[in-house]
Homo-oligomer: A and B are copies of this chain.
Amino acid sequence: MTTIAIIGAGLIGRSWAFVFARAGLPVRVWDADPAVLDRLASDIATMIHDAGGDPAIAGRISAFPTLAEALEGADWVQENGPENAGIKRALFVDLDRLAAPEAILASSSSALMPSVWSQDLPGAARCLVAHPVNPPHLVPIVELCPSPATSAEAMDRAEALFRQVGQVPARLTREIDGFVLNRLQAVLLAESLKLVADGVVSVQGLDDTIRHGLGRRWAFMGPMETILLNAPGGVPDYIRRYGPMLARLTDSAARGEAFTEAAGQIVAEAFPQTDIRARQDWRDRELSALDAHLRARSERTD
């Protein structure tokens, strides 16, 4: 049985602990801040309550006061520290020195490519990124990104482990800035912010276009299958017919300069009354309900 070490127990680390323990695996947790460890049991109890999890999950999660103790016997290390190259590099020097030689060392980083913090480590071959969407216990995707030094075996073990615990791994063949998910999100955000800042559509209208339009399909099939099903003559034919229009739209789309504070201000002003904390709880309830809906549908029809 794979023993998991969770290094850093903020929002993402706690959710990872929940994912692995939910799948029956023993989870050992450490955080640099003792207060975070002190709250761990009550935070996990809240997650079990909110997500309707088995109370036995809590019994599989243990907090340890030192990094070395948390790593004892761990086969998989999931790191969730700050998105700072120097801090992460220093942490992985310790992880590589203290973890068992056969353990895989994975980072939840969304912003740092694995070569940045694993370059030249003795154990660089066992280092990789396993990037979740927050919170991973409610959203199953996890991007697996190797550095040039990462072994195929480490990637294989990563893919197998995440499938085993009910997540959906998406395996990259090589590292790329932003991985896949944030590259896709970035271009959509850029064009969204530009359309809103240019006054073409309201923030509400923009969100409705995704929420009540494109997002309806993307919740259960990806953009590639979406094309496939709109291409009775085959996808190359689709590209021949619609490619010129899509290319024209892409070439006239927003670039990086769309990310202005002024655009951010317009978005903020569109949600004047929002209690962010309450709405985050709403989002997590909706994610949980949607996950249950999609899992039930998938069992029935896929």
Interface residues of A (CB under 8 A from B): 111, 133-134, 138-141, 143, 168, 170-174, 176-178, 180-192, 195-196, 199-203, 205-225, 227-232, 234-240, 243-261, 263-265, 267-268, 270-271, 274, 276, 279-280, 282-283, 285-287, 289-291, 293, 297, 301
The reply to whether B249 and A217 form a contact with Cβ atoms under 8 Å apart is no
Complex partner residue of A186 from B196, B246, B274, CB under 8 angstroms: B246
The reply to whether B260 and A250 form a contact with Cβ atoms under 8 Å apart is no
Bound-state Cα–Cα, A187 to B246, Å: 8
Complex partner residue of A250 from B190, B225, B243, CB under 8 angstroms: B190
26 intermolecular pairs with C-beta atoms under 8 Å apart = A111-B245, A133-B217, A140-B213, A141-B213, A168-B208, A170-B206, A176-B195, A184-B209, A186-B245, A186-B246, A186-B249, A187-B191, A207-B222, A209-B222, A211-B221, A215-B215, A215-B219, A215-B222, A220-B290, A221-B286, A225-B271, A228-B276, A231-B276, A239-B261, A239-B263, A250-B259
Residues of B contacting A133 in the complex (Cβ-Cβ under 8 angstroms): 213-214, 216-217
Residues of B contacting A178 in the complex (Cβ-Cβ under 8 angstroms): 245, 248-249
Given the contacts A195-B183, A246-B190, A200 and B172 also touching, CB distance less than 8 Å: yes
Complex partner residue of A212 from B134, B140, B191, B264, CB under 8 angstroms: B140
Given the contacts A180-B206, A218-B214, A268 and B234 also touching, CB distance less than 8 Å: yes
Copies of this chain in its oligomeric complex: 2
Residues of B contacting A188 in the complex (Cβ-Cβ under 8 angstroms): 184, 187-188, 223
Complex partner residue of A211 from B220, B245, B260, B286, CB under 8 angstroms: B220
Residues of B contacting A232 in the complex (Cβ-Cβ under 8 angstroms): 276
Q: A198: shortest Cβ distance to chain B, in Å?
A: 8
Bound-state Cα–Cα, A268 to B248, Å: 23
Which residue from chain B places its CB closest to the CB of A111 in the assembled complex? B245
Complex partner residue of A238 from B253, B257, B264, B290, CB under 8 angstroms: B264
Q: A16: shortest Cβ distance to chain B, in Å?
A: 16
Given the contacts A170-B201, A249-B183, A274 and B208 also touching, CB distance less than 8 Å: no
Identify the 4 closest CB pairs spanning chains A and B, nearest first. Answer: A207-B222, A247-B256, A215-B218, A141-B213
The reply to whether B265 and A235 form a contact with Cβ atoms under 8 Å apart is yes
Given the contacts A184-B191, A228-B274, A222 and B206 also touching, CB distance less than 8 Å: yes
Bound-state Cα–Cα, A187 to B196, Å: 16
7 further contact pairs, Cβ within 8 A, besides A168-B208, A247-B255: A141-B213, A181-B209, A190-B246, A208-B222, A229-B279, A240-B261, A251-B255
Given the contacts A184-B188, A210-B184, A227-B267, A171 and B246 also touching, CB distance less than 8 Å: no
Which residue from chain B places its CB closest to the CB of A215 in the assembled complex? B218
The reply to whether B261 and A286 form a contact with Cβ atoms under 8 Å apart is no
Given the contacts A209-B143, A246-B189, A255-B251, A180 and B200 also touching, CB distance less than 8 Å: yes
